[in-house]
Amino acid sequence: MNFELNEEQSAFQQAARNFATNELAPRAAEWDARGHFPKDVIAQAGALGFCGLYADSAYGGLGLSRLDATVVFEELAAACPSTAAFITIHNMATWMVTAFARQDVASRWGPMLASGQGLASYCLTEPGAGSDAASLKTTARRDGDSYVLSGSKAFISGAGSTDALVVMCRTGGPGAAGISALLVGADSPGIHYGKKEEKMGWNSQPTRTISFDHVRVPVSHLLGQEGEGFKIAMKGLDGGRINIATCSVGAAQGALTAAQRYMHERRQFGKPLADFQALQFKLADMATELVAARQMVRLAASRLDHRHPDAATYCAMAKRLATDIGFEVCNQALQIHGGYGYIREYPLERLLRDARVHQILEGTNEIMRVIVARRMLQDHATETIR
């Protein structure tokens, strides 16, 4: 068990930190205020390999581990959790394409997505199917050499501004076994995008509903086999839960660093805040809990990399822990800043708003508890969950 980063991981960490410092941090507040989606900057991240970190190297990805990816995503999220989170979602969709598409389809789409020259959205949630994803109603009916796709998706990150959609749809009967996954061109005839949602946070990425009105999709764009879509979606979400947990760790680290700096700068009652023991204790607790969350996330990533039989459970545990702790660290850092933390001149309120949604998406933290509890209550569960 080695808790130290190796030489390659340290190099990726430094490259991501430099990119975050130079390209994300100076613009993050403006993107948030304007609701601007920085596709050009995401393409720059793609040029560094950050848009296909764990995608198959045969199709333009770097082929890194999920553990390696957490190191990069954390650094990006410390500067702009919203943009970093979209990059993680794009990575998840890119991995699905390079892992499950036919070779000719992966050869066409993979390099474009992995380079960041094209962007992808992940389309699972529907207006009536959130936590109960297996009840989704979007259908894909086989018609010759095409599927005819009809239905709607909700809360889709990047929708209306991306090039490809990974869509979970029903090709068979009810339940998870009837779900398949399709790669759909985002500008295909019959696709309609809803209004851009006005959100509390994550404002540097658009969120819209998508309607599919008899959209024809080539059969060749099926990912995996018919009926494997739900399994593919859950495999994607295991990594997605690690990714979003990492974004919470990054956001919290950004907030903690700001709080450390502020405690030296701000003076009250004739001395710096750093001299007040109550605030020292608060800072110590924040740092301790953040380190614990980071190690939990990296443990889950390692479990997923090594195909541990309970990897999905560890991913759920990490997502629950890190997103709860991440939000609380941001909240406490804002409290240390007092009134200044509440104004937009400082990054605290933005980090807080961006981190809040992490407790909801990629499966709510209540669902994460369900996943862990169900596994623990299975026979012999204590032999592996420890």
DSSP code per residue over 241-281: HHHHHHHHHHHHHHHHHHHHHHHHH-EETTEEGGG-HHHHH
In angstroms, rounded to a whole number, what is the distance separating the alpha carbons of residues 111 and 295?
32
- 111 near 59, Cβ under 8 Å? yes
Under 8 Å between Cβ of 361 and 81: no
Distance (Å, whole) CA 221 – CA 172:
17
Distances (CA, A) of 277 to 22, 43, 138, 163, 255: 35, 45, 56, 53, 20
Nearest Cα neighbor of 323 from 370, 287, 281, 364 is 364
- DSSP E strands in the chain: the ranges are 120-123, 139-143, 146-157, 164-170, 179-185, 191-193, 207-218, 222-223, 267-268, 271-272
Kind of pairing between the strands at 120-123 and 164-170: parallel
362 noted as active-site residue: yes
The position carrying tokens 């301790």 is 288
**CA dihedral of 333, 335, 337, 343, whole degrees rounded to 10:** 100
Q: How far apart are CA 325 and CA 256, in angstroms?
A: 12
Which H helix or E strand runs over 93?
helix 81-100
Active-site residue, selected from the candidate residues 23, 74, 75, 362: 362
Strand residues in 158-223 grouped as ranges (E): 164-170, 179-185, 191-193, 207-218, 222-223
Cβ–Cβ under 8 Å, residues 53 and 72 = yes
CB distance 114 to 46 below 8 Å: yes
Element (H, E) at 8: helix 7-19
- Enumerate the active-site residues: 362
